[in-house]
Structure 1
Amino acid sequence: MTKHKIEIKKIENIAARQVAFSKRRRSLFKKAEELSTLCDAEVALLVFSATGKLFQHSSSSVEQVIEMHKNVHSSIDKSYLPTMEFQMRNEVADKTRELRKLNGEELQELKFQELMKLEERLLKGLTRVLKAKDERMANDITALKRKEEDLMRENRRLLQIADEQGTSFKLGSD
């Protein structure tokens, strides 16, 4: 029997709601435990039922995890985040400019020495590409030669069978 998708909305039947809560709570706690074990993560999970009853699961103690959260949250320098975003944008812009130069665009701003270095980088890259292409072609040629030999053997075998049966075939180009 396959699982079918249910519509996510409040379950009106109180007994069915309680059963679903109980089953899903156990599944949720199991997933939290798996996350903690597999990833060596500190996990704290608090769940309040509709009646206000508290259910909790934690990899160590809930209080320790909450305290850890408070310490980490208060120690984050809020001004650092925009700076980090600014640095990321600058890095992306730099890499974009570098890629354009490698594509032969926006070269007018480069000095002669920079153009020489760019040419050297491109030649090294081209050498690697040509080497990879040559290796691929050599492998393909070897595979085709092997296939040709197999086909020639098969052709000789079929000709031998035809001779044994008294049928003659002529080899050659027509």
Structure 2
Amino acid sequence: MVRGKTQMKRIENATSRQVTLSKRRNGLLKKAYELSVLCDAEVGLIVFSPSGKLYEFASTSMQKLLEKYEICSQECGTSESNKKQDPQCLKQEIENMEKRVRILQSTQRKMLGEGLALCSIKELNQLEGQVERGLNHVRATKTKVLLDEIEKLKQKEHVFREEKALLHKKSVNLRGANGCTIPSIGLTSIERVEVQTQLVMRPPHATEMDDNFMDVDNVPLSG
């Protein structure tokens, strides 16, 4: 049976809510323990049930973890507030961003083959390697795209062949059901027709015509 997706809202039934709390709390405590052991991390977990009951896990000491967390929070908060309030920090950050933009623009121009006069041999070798790696990646991607297109065309061709064979089969079955046959004329019949046509269309020989005329002249006239 497929388990439905749990909606992220408060469970109204008190018994189901308590069962879910127990299961998920135990799973969360187990994951915290695994994280501390596998990754050698300092993990602290605190859970209060709706009734106010405390469940906690600490990889070392919860008190030490809380003190460390408080110190880190104060340092981060002070650092962030100082950065926001100190114009000098903002100015330095803007300068750093502008410097990074200039470096990226210079690298882009060099990749396009521009501004190479001041480059050293080492820089040119590094640039050449980057260009070759990029070109190899582009070619590999292009080859993959072409192979995928060829495979798609082969699949379409296979589908068209199957459809053609199916249509031919349906056509043959339809002609057989209607009792229709396609007349076929052999080569021998064609040659016979051509021979007969030539014999019929050939004019009579000249000597035979002369003999016929002579016979007509020799017939005695009656009367």
Q: TM-score range by the shorter chain?
A: 0.5 to 0.7
CA separation of 1:9/1:59 partners in 2, compared to 1, >3 Å: closer, same or farther?
same
Residue 25 of structure 1 is matched in structure 2 by 25
Cα deviation 1:26-53 (Å, max 9, x = unaligned)? 0011111111112211111111111111
Match for residue 60 of structure 1?
A: 60
Which consecutive unaligned segments of at least 5 residues does structure 2 have?
Answer: 137-223
Aligned to 2:127: 125
Match of 1:115 in 2: 117
Aligned pairs, how many?
126
Greater C-alpha radius of gyration: 2
Q: Give, as a single letter, the amino acid of the residue that structure 2 aligns with 1:126.
A: E
Q: Secondary structure at the match of 1:56?
A: strand
Instruction: Name the structure where helix makes up a greater proportion of residues.
Output: 2
Following the alignment from structure 1 to structure 2, what is the Cα–Cα distance between the partners of residues 105 and 49? 65
Question: Measured at CA, do residues 101 and 72 of structure 1 come closer, stay the same or move farther in structure 2, by a change above 3 Å?
Answer: same
Relative to structure 2, which stretch is displaced further, 91-100 or 121-130?
121-130
Larger mean CA deviation between 84-93 and 33-42 belongs to 84-93
Contact 1:47 1:55 in 2 (8 A): yes
Q: Does 1:103 align with 2:111?
A: yes
Normalization by structure 2: what TM-score? 0.46
Other structure's SS at 2:36 match: helix
Aligned equivalents of 2:36, 2:98: Cα separation in 1: 36
- Distance, in Å, in 2 between the alignment partners of 1:36 and 1:87 is 41
Please list, as runs of the form range in 1=range in 2, the aligned pairs for 1:7-156 lying within 5 A after superposition: 7-76=7-76, 77-78=79-80, 79=82, 86=94, 89-90=97-98, 92-104=100-112, 107=115, 115-117=117-119, 121-122=123-124, 125-126=127-128, 129=132
TM-score normalised to structure 1 length: 0.57
Q: Percent same amino acid among aligned pairs?
A: 31
For residues 2-35 of structure 1, give each alpha carbon's deviation from its aligned partner in whole angstroms, at most 9, with x where no partner exists.
5442111111110110000000000011111111
CA RMSD of aligned residues (A): 3.5
Do the aligned partners of 2:111 and 2:127 also contact (CA within 8 Å) in 1? no
CA 1:125 to 1:31, structure 2 compared with 1: closer, same or farther past 3 Å?
same
Q: 1:39 to 1:13 in 2, by over 3 A?
A: same
Deviations 1:52-92 (A, max 9, x none): 11111111121110001112222343335866965763454
